[in-house]
């Protein structure tokens, strides 16, 4: 009985945090975009700087007509938003926000996260296939190719860290970084990982799957209302978890020079990474699909292999 | 039925792939107005792209046949609504030539000034829209920001932001004040010192931009000439054909400026030519500011223009290319026939040629690099 | 180009681009909070031609000569001259004066054509309605509109007055 209660409480905590986090990130993104473009962004709803705008949008999306495209593939179309949102939520379980501030410390935490995030692709693909829309289909095809080829460098780039830490458990990896972060010995790995995160979360310069100027809305063209909202929700969730993972693996997790609580350090680092991702999004143009593939296969994968090689050689020689 | 794919050789036996027909537009984020392109796709690759026009047709040429000629000038603003001054000046030129109206000196210089200011504003918008086509949203708003300042200047001088109705047969409706000229100089300084370097750094010099545009949408000089291209599209292929130099009108023969050209005729060269044209326009306006003569801006003997019997083809270099007005008059106060030559109408016909076999994303970029204004294409 | 050079160029151009946006974040926004804060329109900004009331006589200047009606290219002005019912004689003022703003291209030609200084150009552009018919303004409405803004008539060939 206690186990069930704990599980429910954990699930609730995660869901609340994910929802709050998505709201904050969406608001933040619009604010940052606004200020970069000499605008103000959200302004009117709620407290300072229109901070309740996302909530208002959420309410609006809930009350919208549930539009369904004709000729859709019923169950696939219906399931797709859920399938793409679930992994975004599930990943939160394994992220160490602070020392012992982790819902489940698995000894295979890293593998759990990488395997769960790959599921997101399935939702995207289902959305594209089920919508019976050519734009959606093209978007889904692009997403498929893109996520598949960026999953590999993302995983390869973490191997250096695993080698250095000697563990797959995220808590152990962070604990190993108490003296120095893995950022500098693993700078190649960090760069590859960060670029791969950008690609996996479909953000400019890699937002080919939803390329507005080409594919209108990409794979979620045919969704509206709350079903549509689940896709950005998942996207921002993945962005956050990606950055959180980068913090955990390379930036020393909860370790920080000042005497702030560990989870504050963790959040600061993560949100800085998120901010950089947003900054990049509002600066760069989009790459083309073949250039994206080139970058992934011909550049990032060799780089991460070099990284593994270097780390391995170092460990073999020094120890 | 669509045929099997062109890459049939690579497929596993029994698998069949089909071509897909996609209607891009008329409501699509990047068709620059209401253009429809019927695209046949083989996966990501464009097999054929066929532009379909006419969604913005307003019957301009027929309507103006029934109007007295002074009314044609403000209506012509609506053709290329992003470069209204170029239209006005061109149609005024045709009417003035047939009506034998002599332009005052100041009017000539001011027309040059406004045409060049309009070129800057138009290229700013193009810069933003092209950035948007390539997926960068921020350049769009930077372009808009500076364009808005330019439009405010225009509004102060002419009374309207986009559709100025500023030229009259025989000159300009209003004079400009010295204070306005000062303000214009400030705008040029801002463009030169701050905005232009920013444009270059943010988008044009960006490696991703270069990667995306170099070698795509390539046109040879022969193709460009054969399809009637003009303006930056023609100049990007290396031919320095600029009506301001080759057939000087107004006072362009007294001004010093270069004609930027490209070498490859690809999207990158077209972008570069347009960016350099902003610089040249700034140079021209500075010369005009220095040499602007005093005097009236509106000719006296212009009331009740009656063009003589005959025909005349006036043409000028608009930001998009050669805009031309063929005016046929039978001596009545309205035109017997007025044919409008729109540069982007010819450019749009290049789309099938440029887009065969390219990726979907490049097709959008090609379309954007031609700088198409549907108001002018459909008329 | 060699690979290191390409990489170096790419990295440099990316950094330079981000520096531009970073600088813009720090500068003040340029937008105006529209309904609360109205932008100032330059003098002479045109939105709709309106009938003017003569300050001295207190009547409108229009004599119903019909010149504006004939000049207007799209033909959006319609005038009916006033008639004295007793004598059946025409009176020098309009009985009806309708301007269809939905056709008007705000070209200023009618204002220029009027020989009696009866028309002026208004500078209030907020005239949007939900119905096209509501854009048909009658004489009285045009006079009311005249009072809402700073309508002016700029003599031909003269500079736009600055604020
Ligand atoms: S502004 Fe032009 S279109 Fe409008 S009523 Fe006057 S003449 Fe006609
Ligand atoms: S031209 Fe002037 S006076 Fe004549 S009808 Fe029009 S408004 Fe009235």
Q: Which residues of B touch C (CB under 8 A)?
A: 67-68, 70-72, 74-75, 77-78, 138, 142, 145, 152, 155-160, 163, 165, 168, 171-177, 179-180, 198, 201-203, 205-208, 210, 296-298
Over the stretch C4-32, which tens digit does the pLDDT of each residue have? Answer: 888 888 888 888 888 888 888 878 888 88
Which ligand has an atom closest to residue C68 CA?
2
Domain tally, chain B: 1
pTM for the complete prediction?
A: 0.85
Distance CA B42, CA A276 (A): 36
Q: 3-state SS of chain C: helix, strand, coil percent to 5?
A: 30, 20, 50
Distance CA B41, CA B360 (A): 8
> A41-50, A189-198, B112-121: which has the highest mean pLDDT?
B112-121
Residue-level pLDDT at B304: 64
CB contact under 8 A, A40 and C29: yes
Residue C93 Cβ contacting ligand 2 at under 6 Å: no
Over the stretch B56-80, which tens digit does the pLDDT of each residue have? Answer: 888 888 888 888 888 888 888 888 8
Residue A49 has what DSSP assignment? G
Is residue B291 one of the residues assigned to a domain? yes
Is residue B129 one of the residues assigned to a domain? yes
Q: Contact, B203 vs B209, CB < 8 A?
A: yes
Mean pLDDT for the stretch of residues B228-251: 87
Q: Contact, B270 vs B319, CB < 8 A?
A: no
Residue B89 has pLDDT above 50, yes or no: yes
Over the stretch A133-143, which tens digit does the pLDDT of each residue have? Answer: 888 888 888 88
Mean pLDDT for the stretch of residues B132-161: 86
What pLDDT band is residue B30 in, cutting at 50, 70 and 90?
A: low
CB contact under 8 A, A212 and B135: yes
Distance CA B375, CA C103 (A): 17
Q: Please indicate if any CB of chain B lies within 8 Å of the CB of C32.
A: no
Over the stretch A187-229, which tens digit does the pLDDT of each residue have? Answer: 888 888 888 888 888 787 887 777 666 777 777 777 878 888 8
What pLDDT band is residue A74 in, cutting at 50, 70 and 90?
A: confident
Residue-level pLDDT at B161: 85
Residue-level pLDDT at B9: 44
Which ligand has an atom closest to residue C95 CA?
2
Residue-level pLDDT at B156: 86
Residue C104 Cβ contacting ligand 2 at under 6 Å: no
Residue in the structure block whose two tokens are 């993945």: A238
Q: Residue A41 phi/psi, 5° resolution?
A: 80, -160
Residue A105 has pLDDT above 80, yes or no: no
What pLDDT band is residue A307 in, cutting at 50, 70 and 90?
A: confident
What pLDDT band is residue A232 in, cutting at 50, 70 and 90?
A: confident
Q: Return residues 188-217 of A near B (CB < 8 Å).
A: 204-205, 207-208, 211-214, 216
Q: Return the ∠ at Cα B74 (arms to B68 and B79), rounded to 5°.
A: 110
CATH of the domain at B316: 1.10.645.10
Helix axes A187-200, A262-281, angle to 10 degrees: 60
Burial zone of B82 (CB within 10 Å; 0-12 exposed, 13-18 middle, 19+ buried): buried
Helix axes A225-250, A74-90, angle to 10 degrees: 30
Is residue B155 one of the residues assigned to a domain? yes
Tokens of A186: 């693993």
> A273-277, B43-47, C47-51: which has the highest mean pLDDT?
A273-277
CB contact under 8 A, A283 and B43: no
CB contact under 8 A, A279 and C22: yes
CB contact under 8 A, B156 and C162: yes
Domain of B183, in residue numbers: 60-378
Q: How far is A125 from chain B (nearest CA, A)?
A: 15
Average pLDDT over chain A reads 82
Whether cis (ω within 30° of 0) applies to the bond prior to B26 is: yes
For residue C113, give the ligand 1 atom closest to its CA: 7
Of all residues in chain C, the percent with pLDDT exceeding 90 is 0
Residue-level pLDDT at A1: 63
- Could you tell me the residue ranges of all domains in chain A? 1-63, 70-318
Mean pLDDT for the stretch of residues B146-166: 87
Give first-to-last CA distance, chain A, whole Å: 48
Distance CA A199, CA A151 (A): 9
Mean pLDDT for the stretch of residues A297-302: 86
Residue-level pLDDT at C163: 55
Average pLDDT over chain C reads 81
Residue B227 has pLDDT above 80, yes or no: yes
Is residue B29 one of the residues assigned to a domain? no
Residue-level pLDDT at A286: 85
Is residue B10 one of the residues assigned to a domain? no
What is the chain B residue with the closest CA to C23?
B198
What pLDDT band is residue B3 in, cutting at 50, 70 and 90?
A: very low
Which ligand has an atom closest to residue C64 CA?
2
């Amino acid at each position: 009985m206690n186990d069930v209660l704990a599980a429910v409480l954990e699930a609730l905590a995660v869901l609340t945090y994910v929802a709050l986090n998505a709201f904050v990130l969406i608001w933040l993104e619009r604010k940052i975009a606004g200020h970069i473009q000499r605008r103000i962004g959200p302004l009117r709803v709620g407290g300072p700087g229109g901070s309740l705008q996302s909530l208002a949008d959420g309410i609006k999306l809930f009350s919208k007509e549930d539009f369904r495209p004709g000729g859709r593939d019923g169950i696939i179309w219906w399931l797709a938003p859920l399938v793409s949102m679930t992994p975004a939520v599930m990943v939160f379980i394994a992220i160490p926000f602070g020392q012992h501030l982790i819902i489940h410390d698995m000894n295979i935490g890293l593998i759990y996260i990488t395997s769960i995030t790959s599921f997101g692709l399935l939702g995207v693909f289902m959305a594209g296939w089920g919508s019976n829309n050519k734009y959606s289909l093209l978007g889904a095809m692009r997403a498929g190719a893109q996520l598949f080829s960026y999953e590999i460098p993302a995983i390869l780039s973490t191997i250096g860290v695993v080698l250095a830490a000697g563990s797959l458990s995220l808590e152990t990896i962070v604990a190993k970084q108490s003296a120095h972060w893995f950022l500098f010995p693993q700078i190649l790995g960090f760069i590859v990982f960060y670029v791969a995160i950008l690609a996996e979360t479909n953000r400019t310069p890699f937002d080919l799957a939803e390329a507005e100027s080409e594919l209108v809305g990409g794979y979620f063209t045919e969704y509206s209302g709350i079903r549509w909202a689940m896709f950005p929700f998942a996207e921002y969730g993945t962005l956050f978890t990606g950055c959180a993972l980068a913090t955990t693996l390379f930036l020393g997790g909860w370790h920080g020079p000042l005497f702030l609580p560990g989870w504050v350090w963790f959040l600061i680092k993560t949100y800085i990474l998120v901010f950089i991702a947003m900054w990049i999004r509002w600066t760069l143009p989009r790459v083309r699909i073949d250039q994206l593939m080139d970058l992934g296969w011909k550049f990032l994968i060799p780089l991460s292999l070099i990284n593994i090689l270097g780390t391995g050689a170092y460990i073999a020689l020094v120890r | 039925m669509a045929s099997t794919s062109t890459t049939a050789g690579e497929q596993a036996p029994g698998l069949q792939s089909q071509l897909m027909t996609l209607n891009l537009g008329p409501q699509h984020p990047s068709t620059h107005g209401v253009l429809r392109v019927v695209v046949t796709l083989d996966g990501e690759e464009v097999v054929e792209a066929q532009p379909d026009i006419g969604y913005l047709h307003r019957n301009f040429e027929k309507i103006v046949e029934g109007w007295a000629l002074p009314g044609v000038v403000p209506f012509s603003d609506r053709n290329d609504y992003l470069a209204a001054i170029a239209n006005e000046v061109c149609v005024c030129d045709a009417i003035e030539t047939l009506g034998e109206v002599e332009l005052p000196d100041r009017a000539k210089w001011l027309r040059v000034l406004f045409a060049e200011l309009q070129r800057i504003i138009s290229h700013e918008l193009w810069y933003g829209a092209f950035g948007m086509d390539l997926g960068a949203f921020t350049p769009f708003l930077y372009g808009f920001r500076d364009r808005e300042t330019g439009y405010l200047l225009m509004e102060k001088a002419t009374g309207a932001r986009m559709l100025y109705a500023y030229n009259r047969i025989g000159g300009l409706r209003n004079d400009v004040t010295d204070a306005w000229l000062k303000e214009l100089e400030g705008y040029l300084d801002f463009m030169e010192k701050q905005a232009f370097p920013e444009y270059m750094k943010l988008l044009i010099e960006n490696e991703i931009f270069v990667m995306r545009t170099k070698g795509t949408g390539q046109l040879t000089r022969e193709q460009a000439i054969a399809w009637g291209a003009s303006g930056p599209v023609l100049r990007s292929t290396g031919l320095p054909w600029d009506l301001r130099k080759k057939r000087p009108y107004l006072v362009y023969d007294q001004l010093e400026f270069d004609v930027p050209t490209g070498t490859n005729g690809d999207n990158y060269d077209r972008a570069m030519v347009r960016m350099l044209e902003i610089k040249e326009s700034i140079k021209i306006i500075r010369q005009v500011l220095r040499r602007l003569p005093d005097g009236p801006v509106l000719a006296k003997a212009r009331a009740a223009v009656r063009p003589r019997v005959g025909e005349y083809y006036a043409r000028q270099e608009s930001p998009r290319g050669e805009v031309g007005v063929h005016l046929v008059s039978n001596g009545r106060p309205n035109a017997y026939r007025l044919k409008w030559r729109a540069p982007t109408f010819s450019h749009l016909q290049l789309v099938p040629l440029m887009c065969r076999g390219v990726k979907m994303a490049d097709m959008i970029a090609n379309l954007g690099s031609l700088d198409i204004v549907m108001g002018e294409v459909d008329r | 180009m060699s690979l290191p050079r390409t990489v170096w160029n790419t990295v440099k151009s990316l950094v330079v681009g981000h520096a531009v946006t970073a600088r813009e974040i720090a500068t003040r926004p340029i937008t105006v909070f529209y309904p609360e804060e109205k932008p100032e329109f330059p003098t002479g900004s045109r939105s709709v031609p309106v009938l003017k009331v003569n300050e001295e006589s207190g009547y409108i200047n229009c004599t119903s000569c019909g010149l504006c009606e004939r000049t207007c290219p799209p033909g959006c002005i319609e005038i009916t001259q006033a008639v004295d019912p007793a004598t059946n004689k025409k009176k020098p003022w309009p009985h009806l004066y309708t301007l269809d703003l939905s056709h008007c291209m705000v070209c200023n030609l009618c204002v220029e054509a009027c020989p009696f200084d009866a028309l002026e150009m208004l500078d209030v552009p907020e005239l949007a309605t939900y119905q096209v018919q509501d854009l048909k303004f009658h004489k009285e409405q045009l006079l009311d509109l005249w009072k809402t803004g700073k309508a002016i008539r700029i003599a031909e060939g003269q500079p736009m007055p600055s604020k």
